[in-house]
Amino acid sequence: MSEDRPGPAGGEAGGPQFDFLLQEPLSRARGGDSLQKQLLRRLRAAVLDGRLPAGSRLPGSRALAESLGVSRNTVTLVYDVLSTEGYIEPSKQGTRIAALARPEPENRAHPAPVALARRTERISGRDSGGADSLLFTPGVPALGHFPLAAWRRSLDRVLQQGGTELLGYGPPRGEPALRTAILRHLALARGMRCNPEQIVLTNGAQEALSLCVRLVADPGDTAWVEDPGYGGAQTALACGDLTVVPVPVDADGLRTSASDWEDRPPRLVCTTPAHQYPTGAVLTASRRLDLIEKCRLHGAWIVEDDYDGEFRHSGEPLACVQGLAPGAPVFYVGTFSKTLFPSLRLGFLVLPEPLADRAAPVVDELLRGGHRHEQLALAHFMESGQYGRHLARMRRLYRRRRDALRTALAEHFDVPHTVTGGDSGMHLAVRLPPDVPDQALARAARRHGMGPRPLSRHSLLPDAAHNGLVLGYGNTPESAFTPGLRQLARLARELD
């Protein structure tokens, strides 16, 4: 817009409607808003609230600038913005206030009931968030034992050496160096079979779970979940508008039945085979092979969520389902939230080999890469052996804590209970009698700085066996076990 368009010089432009601009002087405080911004805001507000009615002619920029004691350029720029935004418009007799659609006052409130999507009704109020620092919160690793100084050095090295090229988006599926490092580690440690093109780096395991759903499941498709099971998987499935079918878990892991396969065959089967969450069961080889076979027959896909399989307390980590058969119909989901630290928010998905060629272009459209410095720092951390050493240290630490927690439960938690799990990972499941309702106990515990999760929160079907607590020991020091469990026992008795 050119300098001369706003109102021609002359008495008829401007007028008393514009007096409000002069009633309060513009603020010239240092560090405050610019004069331009203040003038703009006042004029917009006056148009919106009707003080400047449609058709009013603007004062000339020179006249207004003089009245306000600002430079003419300031007024011109303000008029430019208002013109771009459509608050003012040129006319034959100079620039005028535009006629704006103005809502009737009775329409001001959102009239329709403020409705969320149907799926969110299934998600809302699940309250899965544990505070990182509460005693016994599951799923949080030993934050104080992370080699933060070494990590800082790895990250700073990348920031310093990577140059500005690393500031761009980068490959949608993530940095090739990290994908290769993950593949090497998983092939050795877990018997993974894949190539780097199948690996997708994600914003935590949750994005990996969402990707599985987006790639292969349509709304209304059936997904099987373990019951009790991991709430995050249920959330990801609910977000994809899938029908979630709970499947029971026993000491051998997920227990599917012929009638389930017949009556409600799944599109996705979500499972935690290495260390069932929360019961701790290991899915047996026989059930793994059977699951692969059945999924192949039914065109279904396994989602193998391997959230803490690195921390096996006796002997080697277990092999993954993914590597059990060539071309197995398995999405493998991994995360560094437990092996490194949660705030890194870095997970990954291994695409099933039979699907990889078709899924990769879709993934490249859905994701935007990013977080390249963190990914390259981690690649260096893994290739230099620091990751492996950290895992080994953490395995020892968690085994000690697991042993100590079992002992403390036996000696100091004088409420009838049975303990399951504990071969891997960072938590024990403690079943409680029905007269100790777990959700009430967890609420009481929270008031005392403790964050165990109620077992029943992980169940879709009501079942008395799913009353209890998930006690995390990842980020809880041994010294807190005895006083914590005594306190929990006291709280349990008070619930009676």
297 to 316, contacts with a copy of itself by CB under 8 A?
A: 297-299, 314-316
Shortest approach of a copy of itself to residue 33 CB, angstroms?
7
Shortest approach of a copy of itself to residue 81 CB, angstroms?
5
131 versus 495: smaller Cβ distance to a copy of itself: 131
Which one among 12, 19, 127, 263 touches a copy of itself, defined by CB under 8 A? 127
358 versus 400: smaller Cβ distance to a copy of itself: 358
Q: Is 410 in the site for a copy of itself (CB under 8 A)?
A: no
Q: Is 480 in the site for a copy of itself (CB under 8 A)?
A: no
Shortest approach of a copy of itself to residue 318 CB, angstroms?
6
Which one among 20, 72, 260, 366 touches a copy of itself, defined by CB under 8 A? 366
Shortest approach of a copy of itself to residue 205 CB, angstroms?
9
Q: Is 392 in the site for a copy of itself (CB under 8 A)?
A: no
460 versus 489: smaller Cβ distance to a copy of itself: 460
162 versus 437: smaller Cβ distance to a copy of itself: 162
Only one of the segments 365-373, 406-414, 438-446, 481-489 lies at the binding site for a copy of itself (rule: CB under 8 A); that segment is 365-373
For strands 427-431 and 418-420, give the pairing.
antiparallel
Which one among 9, 12, 66, 102 touches a copy of itself, defined by CB under 8 A? 102
| Interactions with a copy of itself, residue window 152-211 (CB under 8 A) | 152, 155-156, 159-160, 164-170, 172, 188, 191, 203-204, 206-207
CB 421, CB 427: distance < 8 Å: yes
380 versus 436: smaller Cβ distance to a copy of itself: 380
- Tell me how many residues contact a copy of itself (CB under 8 A): 128
Shortest approach of a copy of itself to residue 413 CB, angstroms?
26
Which one among 3, 66, 290, 411 touches a copy of itself, defined by CB under 8 A? 290
| Interactions with a copy of itself, residue window 13-42 (CB under 8 A) | 33-34, 36-37, 40-41
